[in-house]
Structure 1
Amino acid sequence: MNDKADHGHRIYDMLARVFINEGVSTCFALLGDANMAWATRLADAGCRMIYVRHEHCAAAAAMAYARKTGETGVATVTCGPGLTQLMTALPAAVRARLPLVIFAGEAPLKNAWYNQGIDHAPFITATGAAYLPLHLPERMAEATRDSFLQARRERRPVVLGVPFDLQARSWPGQLELPVPARQIQPRLSPVPPNEDDLEQAAELVESSRRIIVMAGMGAAEAGAAAACRALAARCDGLLATTLPARGLFHDDPYSLNIAGGFSNRVGRECFSEADLVIAVGCSLAHHNSDGGKLWPKAKVLQIDTDPVSVSQGRLAAEAHLRADAKLGASALSESLRQRVPDWRSPALARRIATAPADDTEFAIEPNVHDPRDAVTALEAALPADWQIVNSSGHCSYFFAQMPSRPYEKFLTIREFGAIGNGISFAMGVAAAHPDDTIALFDGDGSLLMHIQELETIWRHKMKILIIVLNDGAYGSEIHKLRAEGLSDEGAVFGRTDLAAIARGFGVAGQTVDNLGSLPELVRAFQSGGGVAVWDIPISDKVVSPVIQRAHPKLPVSSPVQ
Structure 2
Amino acid sequence: MTEEKKGLTGATILLNALQEEGVEIIFGYPGGVLLPLYDAMLDSPIRHVLGRHEQGVVFAADGYARVSGKVGVCLATSGPGATNLVTGITNAFSDSIPLVVLTGQVPTSSLGSDSFQEVDIIGITMPITKHSYLVKDPRELPRIVKEAFYLARTGRPGPVLIDLPKDVLAQENVEPFPNDMKLKGYKIFGRGNNSKIEEVVQALSVSRKPVLYAGGGVVTANAERALRQFAEKANLPVVTTLMGIGSLPFGHPNLLGMVGMHGTVTANYTVDDCDLLIAVGVRFDDRVTSGLGHKFATKATVVHIDIDPVEISKVVKTHMRIVGDARKILEEVLEVLPEYPLPELSPWWEQVRQWQQEHPLKCDLESLSPEMVVKCLGELAGGESIVVTDVGQHQMWVAQFYPTVHMRNYATSCGLGVMGYGLPAAVGAQLARPGDKVFLVTGDGSLQMSLQELGTIAQNKLPIKIILLNNGVLGMVRQMQKMFYEGRYNQIQLEGNPDFVKVADAYGIHGIHINSADQVQAAIAEAVAYPGPVLLDFVISPDEDVLPLVPPGKVITEMIVR
Aligned pair count reads 543
Pairing partner for 1:525 from 524, 527, 530: 527
Please list, as runs of the form range in 1=range in 2, the aligned pairs for 1:198-277 lying within 5 A after superposition. 198-250=197-249, 251-277=251-277
Deviations 1:299-356 (A, max 9, x none): 3212344456755x52242222445332243145323313344146589559748964
The residue number in structure 1 matching 2:44 is 45
Over 3 Å counting, the alpha-carbon distance change for 1:81 and 1:110 in structure 2 is same
Distance across 1 between alignment mates of 2:203 and 2:97: 34
Cα pair distance change 1:177/1:35, threshold 3 Å: farther
Structure 2 residue aligned with 1:475: 475
Q: Deviations over 1:44-69 (max 9, x none)?
A: 21011111000011111111212222
Aligned pairs for 1:79-478 (under 5 A) are 79-111=78-110, 114-153=115-154, 155-172=157-174, 174-175=175-176, 178=179, 191-195=191-195, 197-250=196-249, 251-291=251-291, 292=293, 295-307=297-309, 310=312, 314-322=315-323, 324-343=328-347, 352=356, 356-358=360-362, 369-402=368-401, 404-406=403-405, 407-478=407-478
Counterpart residue number, 1:505 = 507
Match of 1:543 among 536, 545, 549: 545
Tell me: CA distance 1:190–1:106, structure 2 relative to 1, closer, same or farther (3 Å). closer
Which gives a bigger RCO, structure 1 or 2 (Cα 8 Å, sep 6+)? 2
Q: Give the TM-score normalised by the residue count of structure 1.
A: 0.87
In structure 2, the CA distance between the partners of 1:105 and 1:202, relative to structure 1 (3 Å rule), is same
Q: Distance in 2 between matches of 1:114 and 1:307?
A: 42
Q: What do you get for the CA RMSD once the two structures are aligned?
A: 3.2
Letter in 2 for 1:263: G
Q: Tell me, in whole angstroms, the C-alpha distance in 2 between the residues paired with 1:241 and 1:457.
A: 32
Structure 1: runs of 5+ lacking an equivalent: none
1:266 Cα offset (Å): 2.3
TM superposition shift of 1:187: 12
Instruction: Tell me which amino acid in the other structure corresponds to 1:330.
Output: L
- SS at 1:105's partner residue? strand
Output the TM-score relative to the length of structure 2: 0.87
Out of 225-234 and 534-543, give the one that drifted further. Answer: 225-234
Letter in 2 for 1:325: I
How far is 1:429 from its partner?
A: 0.8
SS in 2 for 1:35: helix
Amino acid at match of 2:546: S
| Letter aligned with residue 461 of structure 2 | K
CA distance in 2, matches of 1:223, 1:187: 20
Residues 424-454 of structure 1, C-alpha deviation per residue, up to 9 Å, x if partnerless? 2111111110111100111111110011001
Q: Secondary structure at the match of 1:477?
A: helix
Is the 1:391–1:442 Cα contact (8 Å) retained in structure 2?
A: yes
Write out per-residue CA displacement over residues 127-164 of structure 1, whole angstroms, 9 at most, x where no aligned residue. Answer: 34533111123333332332223323462222222221
2 CA distance for matches of 1:178 and 1:41?
21
User: Which AA in structure 1 matches 2:29?
Assistant: L
- The answer on whether the counterparts of 1:56 and 1:89 sit within 8 Å (CA) in structure 2 is yes
The whole-number CA distance in structure 2 between the counterparts of 1:16 and 1:309 is: 36
Q: Report if the CA contact (8 A) 1:95-1:416 is conserved.
A: yes
Give yes or no for contact 1:217–1:245 (8 Å, CA) kept in 2: yes
* Cα gap change, 1:13 to 1:224, in 2 (>3 Å): closer
Q: Specify whether residues 156 and 233 from structure 1 end up closer, same or farther in structure 2 by C-alpha distance, changes over 3 A only.
A: closer
Check whether the contact 2:204–2:342 (CA below 8 A) recurs between aligned residues.
no
Corresponding residue SS for 1:536: strand
Cα distance change, pair 370–425 in 1 and its aligned pair in 2 (3 A): same
Deviation for aligned residue 1:525: 2.3
Q: What amino acid is aligned across from residue 317 of structure 1 in structure 2? A: T
SS in 2 for 1:76: strand
Q: Which amino acid letter does the alignment assign opposite residue 521 of structure 1?
A: A
Distance (whole Å) between structure 1 residues aligned to residue 162 and residue 311 of structure 2: 34
Q: Does 1:488 align with 2:489?
A: yes
